[in-house]
Amino acid sequence: MENKSQHSSDPEVKKLGELIKHVRIAMLTTRTIDKKLHSSPLMTQEGDFNGDLWFLISKTSQKVIDINLDDRVNVTYSSPLGKYVSITGIAELVEDKEKVAALWSSSYQEWFPQGKLDPNIQLLKINVESAEYWDSHASHISRILEFAHIAKGGPSKKREHGTLDLNH
């Protein structure tokens, strides 16, 4: 809990939290057993971001198999307003009934009919290592900010530049 408040006060964490706050579906990319990259959608959480990302997934999902083989993942947030976020992090499969209860909403009932105690619920935590953020306008995409080691509490490397950065 100490960590939580520490992270929330970091300007980088706050900024990233604002960027992803209203994006309802994120895409998680994992590496499969045959070394291919695969993405799938995840419902995002409504609570405040404090430096880690949390999701509820199914214990029987392909993601669980992939993460057990390779925990280095990426999560992207594409907002209808033209903002694009890439988060590089380490995935962790967590067992924590209190955390599940805190994240639970009725939207999950359809997939986990037994509710927040459904034994098929798997908590997924992403320990954020770095993040980048782009803004797109009529005809171009600019990279706005790049954070490194965002969730590690150490000194962050922050690059901010107004140069256009399409497809770079």
- Residues with Cβ within 8 Å of residue 44, at least 6 apart in sequence: 20, 23, 24, 25, 26, 55, 77
164 binds a copy of itself (CB under 8 A): yes
d(CA 135, CA 166): 10
Shortest distance (Å) from residue 91 CB to a copy of itself: 10
25 binds a copy of itself (CB under 8 A): yes
114 binds a copy of itself (CB under 8 A): no
61 binds a copy of itself (CB under 8 A): yes
The kind and range of the H/E element at 68 are helix 62-69
What backbone phi and psi angles, to 5 degrees, belong to 143? Answer: -80, 125
Shortest distance (Å) from residue 2 CB to a copy of itself: 28
Shortest distance (Å) from residue 9 CB to a copy of itself: 26
- For tokens 């976020």, the residue is 85
100 binds a copy of itself (CB under 8 A): no
d(CA 102, CA 100): 5
Nearest to 12 by CA among 158, 138, 164: 158
> What residue ranges bind a copy of itself (CB under 8 A)?
24-25, 27, 29, 31, 35-43, 55-58, 60-63, 72-74, 76, 78, 80, 82, 84, 86, 88, 106-108, 110-111, 129, 132, 134, 136, 139-141, 164, 166-168
